Amino acid sequence: MNMTLYAKMLKVHAKSISSYAIGSALYLLLIIGIYPSIADAPGLNDLMESMPESFLAAFGMEGGFQHVSDFIAGEYYGLLYVVILSIFCLMTASQLMARHIDRGSMAYILATPNSRKKIAITQAIVLITGLLIIGITTALAGVIGTEVLIEDKPFEAMTFLNVNLVGILLFYVISGYSFLFSSLLNDERQALGLSGLLTIVFYGMDLIGKMSDKFDWMVHLSLFSTFRPVEIARGTVDVWPMITFLFLLGTVLYGVAILVFSKRDLPL
């Protein structure tokens, strides 16, 4: 890793990293803030029961909410968290490599005595740093928020942190393939488009698979099947297999990206 490049890149992306982190944390606090009014509303769980099972399942809300952690897992981690982090990973990954190749500024970066491998590793670490900052800020906001905003409601800090851990690792993988496309392609928009498309396809397969019995095989092909925030929050699933799987897959993707970049012809 080259420290000068790392510091400069982090500074260039600092604004977007901090706005995603703050945005994500504030939204989570908002969800936590409305929890008491919803939990106390009589008949909410009855209402939920009246909804079609498949619909609830698609958004991970089956069985109602017993705990704050279930609630925020379903309401926030089920959708918005995924959207915010996806956008961050896709955009930043395409900017870190493909944009510099596309515009030619990579020529200056490579015209220094640093190997391509070193450059790619540095850019990858910038992306992972951004992801960690956003993920950890969100997790902290959740822990502190429930502590401050919610009175004597059961909150399972351990399972909540598991949700965050698996979430961050899921995006380690998503940022991994985005980074791979970004290192592989010469066109920034193509890199962004392909990684965006793949993410949407994964998400769509997961959604359709959960809603319809006929297509439930799709779930297993989707990356998102590894991230079931409500189940993790309830502690009904063993998270270690997913953690191992996601960590290994992400690491392989980053590794391939770095290797591909150091071996290919660059149109600079």
Partner 1 sequence: MIELNGLTKKFSNGKGIFDVTFSIPKGEVFGFLGPNGAGKSTTIRHLMGFIKPSKGKATIDGMDTWKDAAKIQEKIGYLPGEISFLDGMNGMAFLNLVGGMRGMKQTSYRDELIHRLQFDVKTPIRKMSKGMKQKVGIVAAFMHEPEVIILDEPTSGLDPLMQRIFIEIVMEQKEKGTTFLMSSHSFSEIERTCDRAAIIKDGKIVVVENIHDLQQKQRRLFDVTFASEEEAKRIKQSPLDVVSTTDNRAEIAVQGDYNQFIRALGDYQVRNIDIHEQNLEEVFLNYYNKEADPS
3-class DSSP state of 151: coil
Q: Which of 105, 236, 244, 251 binds partner 1 (CB under 8 A)?
A: 105
Q: Which is nearer to partner 1, 109 or 139 (CB)?
A: 109
Q: Does position 115 bind partner 1 by CB under 8 A?
A: yes
CB 112, CB 254: distance < 8 Å:
no
Six-digit token pair at 240? 């270690």
Question: Which range of residues in 20-28, 35-43, 114-122, 189-197 is near partner 1 by CB under 8 A?
Answer: 114-122
CB 156, CB 232: distance < 8 Å:
no
Which residue in 135, 140, 203, 196 sits closest to 169, CA to CA?
135
Q: Does position 268 bind partner 1 by CB under 8 A?
A: yes
Q: Which of 40, 111, 213, 238 binds partner 1 (CB under 8 A)?
A: 111
Q: Does position 103 bind partner 1 by CB under 8 A?
A: yes
Q: Which of 19, 26, 54, 104 binds partner 1 (CB under 8 A)?
A: 104
Min dist. Cβ of residue 204 to partner 1 (A): 33
Question: Which range of residues in 104-112, 159-167, 168-176, 201-209 is near partner 1 by CB under 8 A?
Answer: 104-112
Q: Does position 4 bind partner 1 by CB under 8 A?
A: yes
Min dist. Cβ of residue 104 to partner 1 (A): 4
Site map 207..246 versus partner 1, x via CB under 8 A: ----------------------------------------
Q: How far apart are CA 71 and CA 73, in angstroms?
A: 5
Q: What DSSP state is assigned to residue 62?
A: T
Total of residues contacting partner 1 (CB under 8 A): 24
Q: How far apart are CA 105 and CA 268, in angstroms?
A: 8
Q: Does position 130 bind partner 1 by CB under 8 A?
A: no
Q: Does position 168 bind partner 1 by CB under 8 A?
A: no
The amino acid present at 69, given as its one-letter code, is S
Min dist. Cβ of residue 112 to partner 1 (A): 4
User: How many other C-beta atoms can be found within 10 angstroms of the C-beta atom of residue 189?
Assistant: 12
DSSP character string of 81-95 = HHHHHHHHHHHHHHH
The amino acid present at 129, given as its one-letter code, is T
Q: What residues contact residue 208 under an 8 Å CB cut-off, 6+ apart?
A: 215, 218
Q: Which of 87, 110, 140, 165 binds partner 1 (CB under 8 A)?
A: 110
Which residues between 169 and 208 bind partner 1 (CB under 8 A)? none
Question: Which range of residues in 3-11, 85-93, 166-174, 246-254 is near partner 1 by CB under 8 A?
Answer: 3-11
Q: At what angle do helices 188-211 and 80-96 cross, to 10 degrees?
A: 160
Min dist. Cβ of residue 108 to partner 1 (A): 6
Residue 139 C-beta-side C-alpha neighbours within 13 Å: 20
Six-digit token pair at 124? 């990858």
Which residues here bind partner 1, judged by CB under 8 A?
A: 2, 4-5, 8, 12, 100, 103-105, 107-116, 118, 265-268
